Structure 1
Amino acid sequence: VVGGGVIAANFLLNRETRGAFSEGERSFLNETFWYVGGGLTLTAGLARYFHSTGFSLRIMAANPWLVLGVGLVGSIGTMMGTLWTDPDNTVLKHTFFTAFQACQAATLSPIFFMFPPAIIARAALYTVGLVGALAYVGATAKNDQYLYMGGPLLAGLVVVALSSLAPMVLPATAMRTLAVTEAVSLYGGLAVFGGFVLFDTQKVLAHARLAEAGRIKRDPVKESISLELDFINIFIRMLQILGMQQRK
């Protein structure tokens, strides 16, 4: 922990930073993070509502593969609708955005059965701190410093995804292998999605500069989706890690 703190402090204090934001960059970044915060608040509120009304219990009692398939199709469909809808069509854009939050909430609502409220609150607090710190680093770093990470992060994401699927294909007797794949999925996933926060924050600023130049349309709703998914994936892993620590 001490060694990691020294490395992190050196990284934050001695890194190369950028100059001041232009007005376009500042407003675009602020608007994007307002949508991130609003989307996550809506998702959390709907997830709690689904739990209190018994909807999450019915989800858990249903065929898990059917629930997974419907949730995946719904989330991907509404996400694609949000990303591809022209930003000038604000009503349809925000309808897809709201539907995406509802799909995410339905998928996440069973966590209220799996983890006590104190663990959920701690995981959320830690995630806010981690994502906030990484977003600050990404926003204040030199222009495009982390955009090169796209390829390596995608490769890491594939490894994490395959590790997450390992329990479905490996025999239960392969305990050591399953323990390794679980560690890769959890801790490797934290590293990968933390890297995506840096990457996506700088991507927002790059798109802000393109929008200022008139080369693309301003679309903070679209930009917020990737950062929101980063947050949710980090939160889920924080939740699992804290849950494992409590059981020990």
Structure 2
Amino acid sequence: MADVNTIRTAAGTRAAQIDEGLRAHMNKVYGTMSVGMLITFAAAWAISGLAVTTDPAAAVAQIGTDKYLTQLGATLYTSPLKWVIMFAPLAFVFGFSAGINRMSAATAQTVFYAFAAVMGLSISSIFLVFTGYSIAQVFLITAIAFAGLSLWGYVTKRDLSGMGTFLIMGVIGLIVASIVNIFLASSAMAFAISVIGVLIFAGLTAYDTQTIKNNYLAHAHHGDSEWLGKSAIMGALSLYLDFINMFMFLLQLFGNRE
């Protein structure tokens, strides 16, 4: 009996350690994601502030009543550079995902924060197009929806792995449709893309949260802190992209334009 009790005690201790480690891992994921989000919106706000002026003497082009583009704004939003800025985050994600195995966890975290700044540059035009109030309002809505979906993905006993292929195919379809609509400029197609985009990234939020949790549980017994550190950063990247994309699609649907 003593041996059985010892085994049970050891198993219980090990389970408690894994639970504690999982909580720490998820806290790191959400913490890294939150810092990245802060960097993104700070960069977007700062860049948009430099791109717009109310002084006609310093203006290059007028975009509204008493609102003008500076030389920086014209370069970012009306020159061919805008295409580089638009697609830079996508290229950054592919490069980061391909190269993370060759990075240390500390380097990967730095690269993630650099990516967050690049994303801020890419979406900075939202402060020119939408009112500040509606941006804050949609951000709050997104945060509430994201928290609920991520919590559900974490606690549900349902296996969401079957959704993965379908959702990734949906993302690819969204990217293709969005590129096509750049040239078509169809408002109906833009509306459909936004609605479908919200649904896809809502599903990905729950799916990615469960995947992050399961990956930790599958590898925790190895005790590889470096691998777990990079896994947390990749998890933060996944959830960050889910949040940003859901926010942008909701903003297209419900944001009030200047």
TM over 0.5: yes
Query: Structure 1's 189 and 78: CA in aligned 2 closer, same or farther, altered over 3 A?
Result: closer
Matched, 1:67 2:82: yes
Paired letter, 1:151: T
Q: Which runs of 5+ in 1 are unaligned?
A: 1-19, 173-177
Paired letter, 2:95: M
Paired letter, 1:242: F
Describe how 1:35-74 pairs up with structure 2 within 5 A. Answer: 35-54=32-51, 55-56=72-73, 58-63=75-80, 66-73=81-88
Identify which of 190, 200, 223 aligns with 2:235: 223
- TM-score for both structures, normalised by structure 2: 0.75
Moved more, 200-209 or 214-223: 214-223
The 1-side partners of 2:141 and 2:241 are apart by 16
Is the CA contact 1:75–1:100 (under 8 Å) kept in the aligned structure 2? Answer: no
**1:70 CA displacement:** 4.6
- TM-score for both structures, normalised by structure 1: 0.78
Is the CA contact 1:79–1:100 (under 8 Å) kept in the aligned structure 2? Answer: no
**1:88 CA displacement:** 7.2
**1:238 CA displacement:** 1.2
Moved more, 222-231 or 154-163: 154-163
Pick the structure with greater CA Rg.
2
Counting matched residue pairs gives 218
Query: Structure 1's 112 and 184: CA in aligned 2 closer, same or farther, altered over 3 A?
Result: same
Identify which of 67, 80, 95 aligns with 2:95: 80
Describe how 1:1-16 pairs up with structure 2 within 5 A. Answer: none
The 2-side partners of 1:87 and 1:123 are apart by 37
Matched, 1:27 2:24: yes
The 1-side partners of 2:106 and 2:76 are apart by 30
The 2-side partners of 1:169 and 1:110 are apart by 19
> What RMSD in Å do the two structures reach over aligned CA positions?
2.7
Paired letter, 2:243: F
Identify which of 204, 208, 219 aligns with 1:211: 219
